[in-house]
Every structure is written in structure tokens, then in C-alpha cells.
Chain A
Amino acid sequence: MLAAIRPGEQDFALLLHLVGATVVFGALLASSTSLLLARGDARLLRLGYFSLLVVGLPGLILMRLAGEWLYQLQHWDDVSERFGEPSWLGIGFVVADWGGLLFLLSLVLGGVGVHRLNRGNGGVGLLRATMVISLVLVLAYVVAVWAMTGKPE
């Protein structure tokens, strides 16, 4: 992965952006798989939620902040509105920002679900909603990686 990065002043910001993206992608994979295969096992349900909270959230924050830093370093702000932003950048922002909101929603739903699970008062349905959102986000991240690497017109 690191071999793909070329020397330049933006290397460190790009490295942090990639680390954050892969960490959040891995956490989403772990979360959705654990919740999907839990079969009612409370430990796997908790693993699914806490993967998102403890690993995914810091990764998301790192990815977004480093992405913003990279945006400033590459002077995308200075590009005239007449030319507009390239579509790959737009896809990246949609997945990071709207995906981030979905991510936070899944954390809230999952948090209530785990709380209910700990009190023996259900919660599996809410964690299933967290699983669905995680699966949607996994697909969104695959599209974002394709867009940001392939840079379609």
C-alpha cells in the first residue's frame, strides 16, 4: 500500500487519509460480519457494536481530517467554480460526509441496542439496523476507493 505513495509534500496527509480509510473500512467489515453471524450471541453482538465505536469512529475522524488537510494542500479551494470539482472528489465527499452521518446514526442505534441487550430488554432489532447501515457503508467505501483511485471523468 505504501509503495503506491509517491514522494512529495502531500505524502504524510495522504498516508493519514489512507490509514483512516482502511481502519474505518476494516471496522465496518468486522462490525457487519459480527452482527450478521451473531445468531443471538451477546458477545458477538457487542463485538459488532464496539468495533464501530472504538476502532471505526477514530478511523473516520482521522480519514476526514486528513482528507480536508489534503484538500487544502492541493488547493482545490482555488479552482474556479466554472470548472467545478472532479466527480471522484464529489464521490469522496458524499461518502465521507453523508456516510459519516449514517455512521453516527448506526452508533446511536447500536448504542441503544447494546444498552437494552445488557439489561435483558431486547436490542437485537436495533443492532440489526446497525448491521444494515454498516453493510451499506462497506459498499459505499468500495465505490469511494474505486472513484478516488480510478478517478473517472
Chain B
Amino acid sequence: MTFEDWIFALHLLSAATLVGSLVMSWIVIVALRSVDTVATTLGFNRVAMVGTVTTAVGLVGAIAFGIWLAILRDAFHVWDGWVIAAIVLWIVATLALWRSFVEYAKGVEQATALPAADWASPSPAVTASNRATTGLVFRAVGSWRSC
């Protein structure tokens, strides 16, 4: 494999990591909608954090190796229309996903603000927080733009 082949493989590996992480995050988000206790919300949040880290790794890897590849290859350039479009979509996806992560972090923060003695009991406030639509909408936009 040439150096260029390695950069191409790492670019696609990052893209696969990104999309795989988004699939993972959607599994957690859908399952979280039926969670009504703080303790279980925190458990799901531990899993979601891993998804957040792998999503960030995928986003950074995809853009960094993608631009590197565009510089290395003679067949296309960073200023080509489709490359610029891909970079713009990457920016939109990154902003939407970042906002989504912030929204879900707010929900966890609100849940942990409840008295620790109530963490194992079902709470309508926790259910409402886990079903909030703002984070969901931003995640949907970010996922769509990533693909």
C-alpha cells in the first residue's frame, strides 16, 4: 500500500466510525425515551459518552484525512465544487451534532439535580427530559448531513 492508499483507507475508516457511532447513538436515544429513573439515565449516559467520543473521532478523522487526500491526489483539489460541498456539509453536521450533545447533557444535568434518594424511583420530570425533542432534531439533522 502506498502512503496515499493509507490516507484513503484512514479517511474511509473514519467515515465508517462516524456513521457506526451515529447508529450507536440512535440506538441509545431511542431506548432512552422509555427510561424514567435518574439511575438508569446515568447508565445510558455512560454508553452515550462512548458514542460521543467515537463520533468526534470519526468527524475529525474524516475531514482531516479527506483534506489531506484532496491535497495528495492530482485527480481532484480542495477547491473542487464537490469537495467544498462535502466540507460545508461536514461543518453543518458537526455544529448540529455538537448542539445535540449539549442538549442531552442538559437533560442529564437536570436529572442529577433531583435529590439522590429519588434516583431509583420513576419520575415524570426525568421521562420528559429524556423525551425532549430539541436534541433529537439536532441529532437527526447532524446524522442526515453526515451521510
A residues with a Cβ closer than 8 A to B are 1-4, 21-23, 25-27, 29-30, 33-34, 37-39, 41, 43-44, 47, 51, 55, 142, 145-146, 149-153
Contact = CB atoms under 8 A, between A and B. Distances in A.
Nearest to B34: A43
Given A37-B46, A47-B27, A47-B31, A153 B19 contact: no
Interface in B21-45: 21-24, 26-28, 31, 35, 39-40, 43-44
A27 B27 contact: yes
Interface stretch (B5-13, B110-118, B131-139): B5-13
A27 B19 CA distance: 11
Given A146-B9, A150-B8, A33 B50 contact: yes
Contact of A145 (B13, B39, B51): B13
Contacts, number: 97
B12 A145 contact: yes
Grouping DSSP codes into helix (H, G, I), strand (E, B) and loop, the B interface class, with mixed when no group exceeds half, is: helix
Given A1-B15, A153-B1, A30 B43 contact: no
A151 B5 contact: yes
Grouping DSSP codes into helix (H, G, I), strand (E, B) and loop, the A interface class, with mixed when no group exceeds half, is: helix
B16 interface: yes
Contacts of B1: 150-153
B23 A25 contact: yes
Contacts of A55: 23, 27
In order of increasing CB-CB distance, the 4 nearest A-B pairs are A26-B23, A150-B9, A25-B20, A149-B12
A33 B44 CA distance: 10
B105 interface: no
Contacts of A38: 43
Given A21-B16, A23-B23, 15 more contacts: A4-B12, A25-B16, A26-B20, A26-B21, A26-B26, A27-B27, A29-B21, A29-B23, A30-B27, A33-B47, A41-B39, A43-B35, A55-B23, A55-B27, A150-B9
B19 A30 contact: no
A26 B27 contact: yes
B41 to A, nearest CB: 10
Nearest to A28: B20
7 contacts: A1-B15, A21-B16, A25-B19, A41-B39, A47-B28, A149-B9, A150-B9
